[in-house]
Amino acid sequence: MTLRYSTDIVIFGGGVAGLWLLNRLNNEGYRTILFELNGLGCGQTLASQGIIHGGLKYALSGSLNSASNIIATMPNRWRECLAGNGSVDLRGCHLLSDEYYMWSQSSVRSKLKTFLGSKSLRGRVERVAKESYPDFFGQATVNGVLYKLPDFVIETESLVRTLSQGQEQNIYKLSSDSASFQRDQNGNVNTVVVETENGQLSIDCQRLVFAAGKGNMKLIEEANLKTVKTQLRPLNMIFVKGAKLPAIYVHCIGDSFSLTPKLTVTSHKDAIGQTVWYLGGEIAESGVGKSRDEQLLAARQLISKLFPWLDLSETKWECFAIDRAEPAVNSIYRPDDAFLTEEDGVIVAWPTKLTLAPSLGDMALQQLEDKAIVPSPITDNNDLTEILAHPDFSAAQWN
32-67 confidence digits (pLDDT tens): 999 999 999 999 999 999 999 987 766 665 555 555
pLDDT band at residue 118 using 50, 70 and 90 as cut-offs: low
Q: Which of 121-125, 213-217, 321-325, 326-330 has the lowest mean pLDDT?
A: 121-125
Overall pTM > 0.75: yes
Within this chain, do residues 299 and 311 fall inside the same structural domain, yes or no?
A: yes
In a domain, 68, yes or no: no
CA distance 162 to 81: 11
Within this chain, do residues 214 and 239 fall inside the same structural domain, yes or no?
A: no
Q: Which of 92, 100, 169 is nearest to 382 (CA)?
A: 169
328-365 confidence digits (pLDDT tens): 876 545 557 899 999 999 999 999 999 999 999 999 99
CB 207 within 8 A of CB 373: yes
Within this chain, do residues 288 and 214 fall inside the same structural domain, yes or no?
A: no
**DSSP assignment string, 163-199:** HHTT-GGGEEE--TT-EEEEE-TTS-EEEEEEEETTE
In a domain, 89, yes or no: no
Question: What's the N-to-C CA distance of the chain in angstroms?
Answer: 42
In a domain, 54, yes or no: no
Q: Which of 49, 76, 280 is nearest to 154 (CA)?
A: 49
User: Residue 147 in 3-state DSSP?
Assistant: strand
Query: How many CA within 13 A on the CB side of residue 66?
Result: 1
In a domain, 76, yes or no: no
CATH of the domain at 281: 3.30.9.10
Please say if the pLDDT value at position 146 is more than 70: yes
CATH of the domain at 363: 3.50.50.60
Cα 43 to Cα 15, 76, 197, 241, 350: the distances in Å are 8, 26, 27, 21, 13
Within this chain, do residues 148 and 164 fall inside the same structural domain, yes or no?
A: no
CB 57 within 8 A of CB 67: no
Neighbours of 318 (CB within 10 A): 15
Last residue of a domain, one of 327, 350, 365: 327
CB 139 within 8 A of CB 371: no
Within this chain, do residues 349 and 318 fall inside the same structural domain, yes or no?
A: no
Burial of 151 (0-12, 13-18, 19+ CB in 10 A): buried
In a domain, 180, yes or no: yes
In a domain, 392, yes or no: no
Residue range of the domain that includes 359: 2-45+159-230+331-386
CB 170 within 8 A of CB 34: yes
Within this chain, do residues 342 and 217 fall inside the same structural domain, yes or no?
A: yes
- 334: alpha, beta or left? (left if phi > 0; alpha if psi -120 to 50): beta
In a domain, 90, yes or no: no
> What strand order describes the sheet that includes 263-269?
126-127, 144-149, 100-105, 250-253, 263-269, 275-280, 230-241, 316-327
Looking at the structure of the chain, the number of domains it has is: 2
**E strand or H helix that includes residue 285:** helix 282-286
Last residue of a domain, one of 310, 327, 344: 327
CB 55 within 8 A of CB 245: no
> What strand order describes the sheet that includes 51-52?
51-52, 152-154, 95-97
In a domain, 391, yes or no: no
Within this chain, do residues 124 and 253 fall inside the same structural domain, yes or no?
A: yes
264-287 confidence digits (pLDDT tens): 999 999 999 999 999 999 999 999
Last residue of a domain, one of 301, 327, 353: 327
Torsion sign across C-alpha atoms 240, 241, 242, 245: positive
